[in-house]
Chain A
Amino acid sequence: MRTFLLALLIAAFPAAAQQQELSAKAWLEHMSEGLKQQQFKVSLIHLQADHIRPLVYLHGKVDEKEVAFLEHLNGPPKNAVRVGNTVTFLEHDQPAYSVLASRIQGVWPAAFSDEISKLERGYEFVLGGRSRIAGRPGQMIRIIPKDSTRYSHQVWVDMESFLPLRYDLITDEKQLVEQIMAVELIVLQAPPALLQEAAEQEWPAVINTAERADGQNWKFSWLPEGFEVMVRDHHRLIGSQEAVEYVALTDGLVNVSVYVARASETPLPEELITRSGLSLVTENRGNAEIVVMGKLPPETLKRIADSLRLDSQP
């Protein structure tokens, strides 16, 4: 055993020496590459206020295509399968449906496996300390917003495989909003049988998002640095069938939804914070109601709501 450890130490030493040269951004880029290229199985817990959700995530490559599988381990079956750029949601209470997506939502933030340089518009990367997570040595990298309008992020990257081991979303007051932590990470040489099966399976056709009706030309006089409009459309809310104008904003890490609807007889609260870190701000302007929602401090959402304008010249 001792000789084994010694051998391990020697084997790990050149790698460790090499890693000391890496910048915070380089670590994140290696992580992004690792999430796309490596084959692995990771067991995770997702912590949100008083909820803990255990998950398993599998990732592999079958015929040069990325295939991934996410399973919620507690409660009724709730899974998601990704083959190439299609993600299919398999849930117990509704028929399966597929969407066009390059990532399964609900594990690591989608930005982690995307171009890291996209995040640089809104965030700075700073190297932190090292700690052991899921039995592996991890290097911490802080992703700090350039302005104080957002929560900050921390990620621990496995020093051997560069895969993420832990992710924290924290407020300015250092309060934890959300955490995802690996409890076991296994790097695989070949795609697991389940993923090969998934790659061969016929999945429902992708919902055609191109059919979404174009929205009005909404503009913002102010947005936090790095935020951009991702989608504009108008649709009806599921459940209430209420017609809304919709704008989706993102800075790569955080997604914000902006809704404009006819003011209702029962006004919504001006400001709400859910325990999952999601905040909601409502503003009434004339006979319109503006609802802004996302994992941002409510003050920022309020500023976004205030800055919404309708540009008459398209």
Chain B
Amino acid sequence: MDKLGQEWVSAAVDGEVEGQAMADLAADKGSHDKWRNYHMIGDAMRGELPDTINLDLSARIAQAIDDEPAIVAPNIQVTAKAEVDKPRGNVVPLFKQFGQYAIAASVALVAVIGVQNYQQQGPEQEPMSVLSTRPLVGTASPVSLQTGPVQQVQSGNSNEQVYEQRRRLNTYIQDHMLQQRLNSGVALDNSADIMPEHQH
């Protein structure tokens, strides 16, 4: 590639070369690197370079085109194999994965993450507590007891007591949730549960 040739490539990059000349350039493989480099220099000067530059792009595209028939053939094999496997892999593993365990009865749907006691102004009003809960996608682990800010309004309560209170609340809520599951098959007990003599 002589100096004239280099100028020529440079001109082609800037779009100043006729169609026929472009075809000649395309045939000259030695110029391809320069073509790419000039483009990159131009991009750099205009500040249009991407964050990562793949210097080998044109070579890789050419490679990919060369390899194409070789890539297509194994692909077909792979999909054919997947088709064969599909009916077997569809449903069974889902159940197999869980279905063979023994009995357990632990449940945790909600964990208490913080108790906030909002003290009302008037002395006649009961303090109203609002419990923040979040549904847990696991068991209510002690982690939940350590996270989340605790607003402590009641005086004299140590942090430990607050944690203990929350832990106890958690166990009650968990048990309530578990009972929902255990009791749903129970028929109603129709014996008189209301003692008439104490009727309000």
Cβ B102 vs Cβ A204 within 8 A: yes
| Residue among B102, B107, B135, B193 with most chain A CB within 10 A | B193
Which residues of chain B (63-122) have a CB below 8 Å from chain A?
90-92, 94-95, 98-107, 110, 115, 117
Q: Please give the number of chain A residues whose Cβ is less than 8 angstroms from any Cβ of chain B in the complex.
A: 82
A274 touches B99 (CB 8 A): no
Kindly list chain A residues whose C-beta atoms are within 8 Å of the C-beta of B53. Answer: none
B137 within 8 A of A: yes
Q: Mark B123-139, 1 if CB is under 8 A from A, else 0.
A: 00011111111110111
Known: A197-B95, A257-B175, A272-B115. A311 touches B181 (CB 8 A): no
| Of listed B103, B110, B140, residue having the most chain A CB within 10 A | B103
- Asked if A207 and B99 sit within 8 Å, CB to CB, the answer is no
Chain B positions near chain A (C-beta within 8 angstroms):
90-92, 94-95, 98-107, 110, 115, 117, 126-135, 137-140, 161, 164-165, 167-176, 178-186, 188-191, 193-195, 198-200
CB-contact partner of A102 in B99, B139, B168, B184, under 8 A: B184
5 A-B pairs with least C-beta separation? A221-B198, A95-B101, A100-B185, A90-B98, A101-B184
A-B CB contact pairs (8 Å), 15 listed: A87-B185, A90-B95, A92-B137, A97-B101, A220-B195, A223-B194, A230-B186, A239-B171, A264-B168, A274-B110, A274-B133, A274-B173, A291-B172, A294-B176, A311-B195
Q: Which of B91, B107, B183 contacts A230 (CB 8 A)?
A: B183
Inter-chain CA distance A248–B180, complex, in Å, is 9
Q: Select which of B135, B137, B171, B194 is within 8 A of A240 by beta carbon.
A: B171
**Which residues of A207-255 have CB atoms within 8 Å of chain B's CB atoms?**
207, 209, 219-223, 228-232, 237-240, 242, 244, 246, 248, 250, 255
CB contact between B193 and one of A90, A219, A239, A255 (< 8 Å): that residue:
A219
Interface residues of A (CB under 8 A from B): 48, 51, 53, 75-76, 78-79, 81, 85, 87-103, 105, 110, 118, 193-194, 197-198, 201-205, 207, 209, 219-223, 228-232, 237-240, 242, 244, 246, 248, 250, 255, 257, 259, 264, 266-276, 278, 280, 291, 293-294, 307, 309, 311
Which residues of A have CB within 8 Å of B100? 202
